[in-house]
Amino acid sequence: MASHNSPGFFARQRLSTPKQSVSKDPDALRIGILGAASIAPLGVIYPARTMRSIIVVSVAARDQTKAKDFAAKYSIPNTHPSYEALVNDPNIDCIYNPLPNGLHYEWTKKALEAGKHVLLEKPSASNAAQTQELFELAQQKNRVLLEAFHYRFHPASIYFREILQKHIADGHPIQHVKSALIVPGIFPPTDIRFNIKLAGGTTMDTGCYVVNSILYFTGLEFDSVDKAVPKIISEEIDGKMEGVLNMKDSHGANVQAHFATSLINSWLSLQTYREFFPSVIVETDQKIFTFGVFLYPTLYHFFTLKDKVTGKTENLPKAYGEGYTTYHYQLEAFIKAVKNDGRDTSLIAGWMRGEDSVLNMKVIDAIYTRAGMKIRERNSDLGMTQALCRRDNRFINGGRKQKGKKPPGGNFKGRATYYNPDGKGSCGDELSNNMVAALNGSQMKKDICGKSIKVTYEGKSVVVKVLDTCPGCPKGAVDLSEAAFKQLADLDKGVIQVAWSFV
C-alpha cells in the first residue's frame, strides 16, 4: 500500500479541486445535495468531477437564492425549491446529507423512505437510538446508507490499519491507545457546532473522529467510559472534551484509550503545540505505532514505528496512493456499494458498517453521560426543535397579564434562536401571533408577559410580543418565532447575536 511514486504535494492539491468534469456514463448515478453546505464541494462536488459514474444534478437550500448561487458557482445544473422536493424527485438516485447534526436524522429518514441511497455526514444522527433506527430502515428499504468517515478510505489509513492488525495477529497485544484532534478556536460562538438545538458540541464534531479512530484502527471492543472531562462553554455545549475509554481486546484483557478533542484551544497553548496534528498512537507489548495527520492524509501524513526494547524509531513510507483526497476514495466506495445493490460491502476497505455507526454514537452518548451532560436529542420542524427552549407549561403571574405598569427598562445583548410556537405559551396566551418571543426564566419572573421588545441584528429590526419562557436560554438570550427570526436573518444561520430592548 505504501508508495514512493505518488503525486507530489502541489499535484495532490490540483487533484483535490478539479476545474472541469469528465464526461459521464449513460447510467451514472444522479446525486442531489441537501443544503448549500461548505463541506459539499470537498465532500462530493469535486470528487464527482473526476468520476464517470456519478453526477451532481441538484442542490436544495431553504433560501432559493442561496441554492441558485451555489449551483451556479459549482456548475450544478438544477436546484429544487425545498429539501422535500429534492428527496422525492424520482430522477435522483442518491442524496448527500451535509446538513447540521440535528437535521441528519429527519432528512436521512425521509430520503430513505423515498427510496434514495444516502451518503450521510458524521455524526449519523443526534444519538445512538436514532442511528439504529436509520440503519434498520436502510436495510428494510434495501438502500445503501454510509456515514461519511472519509479518512477511513484513504490508502494511508488502510495501510496503517493493515500493519497494526498484522502485528497484533502475530501475538502482540495492545496495551494503550491515544487519539487526539485539537483545533484552535477558529469558530465563533454562534457557529452551528455550538448550537444545542442542532445537536452541537465538540464531541459531536471532532470528537466523532477521535472515537472512530480508536475503534477502527485497533479493533478493540468498547466496554465503558472511565473518565470524561468537558469544558462547558454554554448550556450543555462542550468546547473541549478529554477522557479515557475502557476497552477490551479479543482475549478479554483491559486496555485504556485516552482521547482529547477541542474546538476552542488557544493558539498559544502547549496542548495545541503538541497535538496540532491529529494523531493516533497505539502501543503494544513490543512497539509503538503512530499515524500523524490521520484525518487529512492527502495534505500530509507520517507513520512512525518505535521499538520499545531498542528505543529506535523508524519512519515508514507514506501512502498517498494516486494522490486523491479522502473524500474521493470515499465517494468511489459509496458508488461501488450502490452499483452492487449494497452487497459485499465487507470487501470494501474502510467501509463503515451500520453497526459501526451505531457503536460510534453509543460511545459518544456514553461520554456525555459520564461527563454529566445530556445526550443530544431529536430535533423536529426541520431540526429546529424546542430542545434549547423547551416549554415548561407553567403560567407566569397565574396566566394573567398585568396592566398599568411601565415595561422594564434596559438594553440587552445576547444570542437569538428560533422555534415553532404552538399552543399556549407560559404566559397563558395562545401563540397564534407569528411575531412572538420567549425569554430566559429569570427575566420572565418580572412583569413582562405581553410586553413588546424590539430585536435588532445588523441594521434590521423586528418588534415581537413576549409570551413564553425559555428555561434553557441564558440571561439576555431571546428565542424568536420562526417568522420573526426570518425578518432578521436566514434560518440557516440558526443562532445570531442581537441587541434588544422593551418598547
Return the sign of the alpha-carbon dihedral for residues 417, 123, 40, 234.
positive
Domain span including residue 159: 151-326+349-370
- In this structure, the answer to whether residues 162 and 300 fall within a common structural domain is yes
- In this structure, the answer to whether residues 186 and 286 fall within a common structural domain is yes
SS3 423: coil
Give the closest residue to 123 by CA, choosing from 141, 103, 143: 103
Looking at residue 271, what is its pLDDT?
A: 82
Give the closest residue to 118 by CA, choosing from 132, 133, 104: 104
The residue out of 370, 404, 438 marking a domain boundary is 370
> Is position 242 within any domain?
yes
Give the pLDDT band (50/70/90) at residue 96: very high
pLDDT score of 409 more than 70: no
- In this structure, the answer to whether residues 187 and 309 fall within a common structural domain is yes
348 near 152, Cβ under 8 Å? no
Q: Over the stretch 369-406, which tens digit does the pLDDT of each residue have?
A: 999 999 998 554 333 434 333 323 322 233 333 344 44
> Is position 101 within any domain?
yes
Cα–Cα distance measured from residue 334 to residue 115, given in angstroms and rounded to the nearest whole number: 16
- In this structure, the answer to whether residues 176 and 316 fall within a common structural domain is yes
- What is the average pLDDT across 122-127? 97
- In this structure, the answer to whether residues 179 and 45 fall within a common structural domain is no
| CATH number of the structural domain spanning residue 141 | 3.40.50.720
The residue out of 115, 131, 148 marking a domain boundary is 148
Cα–Cα distance measured from residue 335 to residue 349, given in angstroms and rounded to the nearest whole number: 14
> Is position 334 within any domain?
no
Task: Centre a 10 Å sphere on the Cβ of residue 429 and count the other Cβ atoms it contains.
Answer: 18
- What is the average pLDDT across 336-343? 96
H helices of 188-240, where?
206-218
Looking at residue 307, what is its pLDDT?
A: 97
15 near 324, Cβ under 8 Å? yes
- In this structure, the answer to whether residues 142 and 182 fall within a common structural domain is no
Looking at residue 417, what is its pLDDT?
A: 84
Cα–Cα distance measured from residue 285 to residue 175, given in angstroms and rounded to the nearest whole number: 6
> Is position 388 within any domain?
no
Q: What is the mean pLDDT of the chain?
A: 89
Domain count, the chain: 3
- In this structure, the answer to whether residues 173 and 284 fall within a common structural domain is yes
Looking at residue 471, what is its pLDDT?
A: 62
Looking at residue 380, what is its pLDDT?
A: 44
> Is position 380 within any domain?
no
- In this structure, the answer to whether residues 157 and 289 fall within a common structural domain is yes
Looking at residue 186, what is its pLDDT?
A: 87
Looking at residue 24, what is its pLDDT?
A: 97
> Is position 390 within any domain?
no
Looking at residue 3, what is its pLDDT?
A: 52
Looking at residue 432, what is its pLDDT?
A: 66
Greater confidence, 275 or 169? 169
> Is position 389 within any domain?
no
Greater confidence, 411 or 332? 332
Q: Over the stretch 460-473, which tens digit does the pLDDT of each residue have?
A: 999 999 988 876 57
pLDDT score of 2 more than 70: no
pLDDT score of 333 more than 80: yes
Instruction: Please pick, among 122, 178, 287, 318, the residue that the annotation labels catalytic.
Output: 122
Cα–Cα distance measured from residue 125 to residue 104, given in angstroms and rounded to the nearest whole number: 5
pLDDT score of 17 more than 90: yes
- What is the average pLDDT across 228-238? 93
Give the closest residue to 436 by CA, choosing from 474, 462, 471, 456: 462
Q: Over the stretch 134-169, which tens digit does the pLDDT of each residue have?
A: 999 999 999 999 999 999 999 999 999 999 999 999
pLDDT score of 410 more than 50: yes
- In this structure, the answer to whether residues 280 and 165 fall within a common structural domain is yes
Q: What percent of the chain has pLDDT over 70?
A: 91
In DSSP terms, 33 is beta-bridged to: 59, 96
Cα–Cα distance measured from residue 466 to residue 484, given in angstroms and rounded to the nearest whole number: 12
Give the pLDDT band (50/70/90) at residue 27: very high
| CATH number of the structural domain spanning residue 300 | 3.30.360.10
Looking at residue 387, what is its pLDDT?
A: 36
In DSSP terms, 194 is beta-bridged to: none
> Is position 338 within any domain?
no
- In this structure, the answer to whether residues 28 and 58 fall within a common structural domain is yes
Cα–Cα distance measured from residue 207 to residue 193, given in angstroms and rounded to the nearest whole number: 12
The residue out of 98, 114, 148 marking a domain boundary is 148
122 is a catalytic site residue: yes
- In this structure, the answer to whether residues 412 and 462 fall within a common structural domain is yes
> Which secondary-structure segment (H or E) carries 225?
strand 221-234
| CATH number of the structural domain spanning residue 414 | 2.40.40.10
Rounded to whole angstroms, the maximal C-alpha distance in the chain is 85
Q: What is the DSSP string of 119-149?
A: EEPSSSSSSHHHHHHHHHHHHHHT--EEE--
- In this structure, the answer to whether residues 228 and 157 fall within a common structural domain is yes
